[in-house]
Amino acid sequence: MIKFSTLFLLLFPLVIFCQTNPITFIPLPDGINTPDNEELGRWTIDGKAIIFTRLTKDHVDLLTAHLDSLSGVSGVEKMFFNASYKGGGHAISPDGKSLIMAICGRNDGLGGCDLYNSEFQDGAWTAPRNLGHAFNGTTWESQPAYGLDGMTIYFASTRAGGYGGSDIWMVHQLAPNVWSNPINAGGSINTAFNEGSPFIHFDGRTMYFMRDGTEGYGGYDLYIAHMGIDGQWKPAENMGKSINSAADEGGLALHPDGKTAMITRSTPNHQNDLFEFKLPEQFQSEPIQALYVNVTDEETKKPVTARLEIFEINKNDTIRNSQQADEKGNITITLNRNKAYGLIASAKGYIMNSSNLKASKEASRKLEIKMIPIATSEKKTIALQNIFFESGSSILLPSSIPELNKLKQTMQTNAGMKIEIRGYTDNVGTNEINLRLSEARALSVYQYLTDKGIDKNRLTYKGFGENNPVAGNDSEEGRKTKSEDRIFYC
């Protein structure tokens, strides 16, 4: 709130007193919070469940609370391996099928505390498995967090090679169950003091973490950092006295809506409970959308273990890969709401599949992808949904590059493949003009591929104008569909 001082005969300057809007911390419902200590809450990607820790006098539990929009909590269940878990931090993957936790003092440990994982299989969680030397050393490793789409894992460690104290490190997935060596998150995040308890929002580009030292308000303070388009973290910022105090703050997690945060706080009864609050606007993240994808063989209907390449239309800095589909062909990825995306599905022995997703404000949606085997692709028509041209022109837009490069890669991998590029337009304009434009657009794709090294003898092109429609001309959606290029495999 802004207050103005009284002005006396213009002899005194105008003084503006700024007061930070107070934050209201709301305790989570009964069933989650109890007379015991509840800590380290984490929402699932759809916001319908919370994974959290409960400390009693006798043991530490890891629990899942299922949220009901009407009653608040519809049920709370324990993980079966509570006897192993000691409360060192945990994280659930975006697809909800992998759980990483810190466990200390086990016989199969490599140091004081190690990172373990459990997989959700056949309706149950598997016994925790030590993640091995890719994550763990003889030092302390704890407080894990998943990055975007589960392809990166962050954690706190006192291992050598850092900036001092405990640092935040990360590992990248190179292949299923194969991870890179640990990489320090860098000097924008880590200092000579202690950093820990990282939380990466589902957008993959916003980190919340805690740091002690002399520059804050006392104890551990909460900080925020954003990732630049170069993939490096920008300098972290203290989140201020509206959140931080002379006590320790840490363990912050963010809801998929990008606005609601959850934190562990001490209560007047000297126990820890979980609270939620609305983050100040400058610390909020973009709301995300959960996309549930199922990939199957078009002919056999069996699951296909494909991967996705995802890119935001009209931006080239957001191209990323998804995890590999599971044994049922399922992949879960995160998208920013109200943004349009292109998706390319790839799998060994299959033709690349192209999908285009319009901007949507929904919290989640589903996509069915049907892959065509290369062995039976002769005479099949495949639409490339993410080839874009300037209006009324055959000039390719930069947003077409990811899809064109994937087509080039597909042809390089399958040396015997030959294709005919077919261009189409909508019915706006004369048939003669549209026919010339469609052929010119098909030629642009042909020239792009030949310029990238594809033998011209493997390519032909043809324009169809507004004829042989892919969709109707009676709607904007139909006209858009018709104007896209199609690839004919022969």
The whole-angstrom separation of Cα 97 and Cα 119 is 6
* pTM for this prediction: 0.81
The whole-angstrom separation of Cα 285 and Cα 302 is 38
Amino acid identity for residue 382 in this structure: I
Partners of 464 in beta bridges: none
Please, what are the averages of pLDDT over each run of 10 residues along the chain (490 residues)? 31 38 87 92 92 86 84 82 69 90 87 88 87 91 91 94 95 87 95 95 92 89 91 93 86 93 85 92 92 96 95 76 91 92 94 93 94 87 88 90 92 89 77 89 95 94 73 44 44
DSSP secondary structure, 67-90, as one string: EETTTEEEEEEE-TTTTT--SS-E
Is the CB of residue 294 less than 8 Å from the CB of residue 284?
no
Is the CB of residue 371 less than 8 Å from the CB of residue 380?
no
Is the CB of residue 69 less than 8 Å from the CB of residue 53?
no
- Nearest one of 368, 294, 357, 364 to 334, comparing CA atoms: 364
Q: Name, in order, each residue with C-beta under 8 angstroms of 122's C-beta and a sequence gap of 6 or more.
A: none
What's the pLDDT at 68? 83
Pairing of strands 419-423, 459-463: parallel
Name the burial class of residue 120, with classes exposed (0-12), middle (13-18) and buried (19+) by CB atoms within 10 angstroms of its CB.
middle
Continuous segment of H or E residues that includes residue 116: strand 113-121
How many C-beta atoms surround the C-beta of residue 157 within 10 A?
25
Q: Name, in order, each residue with C-beta under 8 angstroms of 50's C-beta and a sequence gap of 6 or more.
A: 28, 32, 41, 42, 43, 44, 64, 65, 67, 262, 274
How many C-beta atoms surround the C-beta of residue 344 within 10 A?
26
The whole-angstrom separation of Cα 11 and Cα 126 is 75
Partners of 99 in beta bridges: 92, 118
Pairing of strands 60-68, 49-55: antiparallel
Residue 57, helix vs strand vs coil: coil
Residue 475, helix vs strand vs coil: coil
The number of residues making up the chain comes to 490
Pairing of strands 221-226, 237-238: antiparallel
Is the CB of residue 60 less than 8 Å from the CB of residue 86?
yes
What's the pLDDT at 373? 92
Give the end-to-end CA distance of the chain in Å, rounded to a whole number: 69
The whole-angstrom separation of Cα 446 and Cα 438 is 12
Is the CB of residue 289 less than 8 Å from the CB of residue 341?
no
CA distances from 74 to 67, 77, 80, 183, 423 (A): 6, 10, 19, 40, 53
What's the pLDDT at 379? 79
Name the burial class of residue 416, with classes exposed (0-12), middle (13-18) and buried (19+) by CB atoms within 10 angstroms of its CB.
exposed
The whole-angstrom separation of Cα 11 and Cα 389 is 64
The whole-angstrom separation of Cα 448 and Cα 423 is 14
Partners of 65 in beta bridges: 50, 76
Domains of the chain (ranges, CATH numbers): 24-283 (2.120.10.30), 287-375 (2.60.40.1120), 378-490 (3.30.1330.60)
How many C-beta atoms surround the C-beta of residue 334 within 10 A?
21
